[in-house]
Copies of this chain bind each other. A is one copy, B any other.
Amino acid sequence: VTVLPDEQTPPRRMPARRGKGEALRSEILEAASDLLAESGDVATVSLRAVARRVGIATTSIYLHFPDLDALILAVKRQRFGELGECLETALAAAGTDPVAGLRAVGRGYVAFGLAHPGHYRVMFSASTREAGADAFGLETFDTLTAVVARALDLPSLDPGVELVSTNLWTFVHGLVHLRTARPSFAWPDLDAQIDDMVDRTLGHRAPD
């Protein structure tokens, strides 16, 4: 058998410079992230699929992550960071009015979730056997609590603030999750849903 010169030969990856293996690490992370975004399901992602996507040998992943769980956990961590930044940005852009701030945070949360439905599902999927994964996103919740306290003009530790914050988080979470799970339901206007909830929660009458 003659080996043709332009055969579909696997282009062996040029190893990174000493101490600079981090480049491949990022590529692996991004590929895993893409796969999770597409499927929205942790169970459908495999080391081999990630390696295929990056164009490397499966075993090369072990150079950067101890196993699949660790890789997925790293993706989750990254996305939670992004969600946090998203909310901070939305809040900063909303100006000084406390109610506008709360509305902006709610809309920002929902916008993030609906823009990345696969990632959002993964972020709140039943934990991989990993222990601490359950505590993800707590700082984000603190952001929400602070905004609610400001909007209600109460101290952050007030039990009413705790209840309202929790219920608003519950609501926006349900909004993202249910809309992605039931895309063909006859959903009302998105902002109308959010505003109505914020208004009723703050005790304003909804604008008629």
Contact = CB atoms under 8 A, between A and B. Distances in A.
Given A134-B183, A166-B193, 19 more contacts: A43-B43, A124-B182, A134-B185, A135-B184, A159-B188, A163-B188, A163-B192, A163-B193, A163-B196, A166-B187, A167-B196, A170-B178, A170-B193, A171-B174, A172-B174, A173-B177, A173-B178, A200-B200, A200-B201
A152 B183 CA distance: 27
Interface string A108-135: 0000000000000100111000000011
- Chain A binding surface, main DSSP class: helix
Interface residues of A, number: 41
Sorted nearest first, the 7 A-B pairs with minimum C-beta distance are A174-B174, A43-B43, A170-B174, A124-B181, A173-B174, A200-B200, A173-B178
A171 B166 contact: no
A175 interface: yes
Given A41-B43, A187-B166, A201-B200, A126 B121 contact: yes
B197 A167 contact: yes
26 contacts: A41-B43, A41-B125, A43-B44, A121-B126, A124-B178, A124-B181, A124-B182, A126-B180, A126-B181, A134-B182, A134-B184, A159-B188, A163-B188, A163-B193, A167-B171, A167-B193, A169-B178, A170-B171, A170-B178, A173-B177, A173-B178, A174-B175, A174-B177, A200-B201, A200-B203, A203-B205
